[in-house]
């Protein structure tokens, strides 16, 4: 599953079609999570642009998720612009994001 096929990625996208592509400054991405030495599973997680650039993330249960693709493919990749603080809440700003 580390090398997910286009059909497997399309199935994940279809199963998560109602998920917002951006939530609290994080981008919905398809990930492959290693469950055991021989087993991986595909799912959706919300990652920051920095996490996407790194390509992997360790989950709270110590499993490792690997970036596969954006949940909603963009014609241009989203670009992180910066963080803003409004009334004590932090918001990330991106360009090239279609909602």
* Structural domain contains residue 83: no
* Structural domain contains residue 80: no
* Structural domain contains residue 29: yes
* Structural domain contains residue 91: no
What confidence score (pLDDT) does residue 24 get? 86
* Structural domain contains residue 58: yes
What confidence score (pLDDT) does residue 11 get? 93
C-alpha angle 72-32-92 in degrees, rounded to nearest 5: 45
Dist. CA 97–CA 99, nearest whole Å: 6
What confidence score (pLDDT) does residue 4 get? 82
Residue with tokens 């469950």: 35
Residues of the chain with pLDDT under 70: 1-2, 74-78, 93-99
* Structural domain contains residue 18: yes
* Structural domain contains residue 88: no
Dihedral (CA of 30, 27, 71, 69) sign = negative
Q: Domain span at residue 14?
A: 6-73
What confidence score (pLDDT) does residue 78 get? 65
* Structural domain contains residue 42: yes
What confidence score (pLDDT) does residue 96 get? 61
Q: How many domains does the chain have?
A: 1
């Amino acid at each position: 599953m580390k090398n997910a096929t286009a059909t497997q990625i399309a199935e994940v996208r279809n199963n998560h079609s109602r998920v917002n592509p951006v939530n609290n400054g994080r981008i919905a991405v398809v990930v492959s999570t290693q469950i055991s030495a021989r087993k991986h599973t595909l799912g959706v997680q919300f990652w920051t642009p920095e996490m996407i650039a790194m390509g992997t993330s360790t989950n709270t249960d110590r499993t490792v998720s690997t970036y596969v693709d954006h949940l909603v493919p963009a014609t241009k990749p989203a670009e992180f612009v910066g963080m803003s603080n409004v009334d004590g809440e932090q918001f990330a700003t991106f360009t090239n994001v279609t909602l």
